[in-house]
Copies of this chain bind each other. A is one copy, B any other.
Amino acid sequence: MIYFRSDYSQGAHPKVMEALMKTNLEHTDGYGMDDHCRNAEKMIQTLIGDDDCHVHMMVGGTPCNVTFIAASLKPYESVVSVRSGHAYFHETGAVEATGHRIITMEGADGKLTPEMIDRAWEEYEDEHTPLPRLAYISQPTEIGTIYSKAEMTALSEKCREKDMLLYADGARLGCALTSRWNDLSIKELAGLCDAFYIGGTKNGALFGEAMVIKGSALNDHFRWMIKRQCGLLAKGRLIGVQFEALLDGGSESIYFEMAAHANKMADMLRESLSNMGIKFYSNSQTNQVFPIFPAGVAEQLAREIFFYKWAPEKDGMIPIRLVTAWGTKEDDVKAFLTAAGRLI
């Protein structure tokens, strides 16, 4: 059966597996204190052009989000995010579990804006209100849109004005960077944010993300926080080894190649569906596509193709989510389009 349900349904890119096999019997120290992690850190420092940043190999995206927030906020400080933000919408209150509020803002296209930051501050009064201190965004967003350079710059400036941190969840960062609409390089993104992570899980790693923290102050005792939040992997090197493989070749590495492929497959879906007259739930610019089908058609498609329904049915129509990945085959895309074409 054809699989468009997620970009973490398969294992890892063969080169990643190869690297894990090759290093399998090495003895190294635990908890990320090994040469592979150090090397991956250096590769990332080069990639983003910042030798002073700190890189931590993390097990998943939620641990990245939660550990950074818990580490960098004081107890009475809070996060600002769009309501559709992953840290709010799909992490079971893991941020609140560390004692911090997420102040939510409605955002039609999944993006946080400087105006929303201002609105959060309008709600702030004094010691009776938690202090907005960190803006949480995803690049790309949960619905596949990306921040342009101008948008990200404006957000970063607003954060500086308000003495707030800007944090970017990069679960699908590769797809943002290789989107054909993208004008924001990873170096520029790194320059505008205080911390972000480079997602591996959803882009060809077996598992793991590379957390990037800028400057020593924010990084202070961060490893203590990772352990306290249950996120320190004994064989930390596994993630270092994977990022060595993923980023080998820098901008020519499989990391970017895989993301570009996923985008290409999504573009194919988008264009063809659009040509069939299908409307979309969001103007996604990356590897997620949200076509809206008549409920009956969606039902039929679901018999041969794996995908998620994205929002409740309304007036007989239902948005579904198709996710492409490094392993998506052009034949899968064609098969989907054929099935959809047949049914509508």
Contacts and interface: CB of A to CB of B under 8 A. Distances in A.
A206 B230 contact: no
Interface residues of A, number: 78
A130 interface: yes
A100 interface: yes
B228 A94 contact: yes
Interface stretch (A84-92, A142-150, A334-342): A84-92
Contacts of A24: 10-12, 14, 17
Contact of A11 (B96, B131, B238, B327): B238
A224 interface: yes
B21 A17 contact: yes
Number of copies: 4
Main secondary structure, interface of A, reads loop
Contacts of A71: 75
Contacts of A20: 11, 17, 20, 206
Contacts of A206: 20, 235, 238
A296 to B, nearest CB: 22
A294 interface: no
A63 to B, nearest CB: 5
Given A75-B71, A221-B76, A62 B10 contact: no
B94 A230 contact: yes
A12 B125 CA distance: 28
Contact of A93 (B26, B100, B202, B235): B100
Contacts of A233: 59-60, 207
Contacts of A94: 227-230
A200 to B, nearest CB: 10
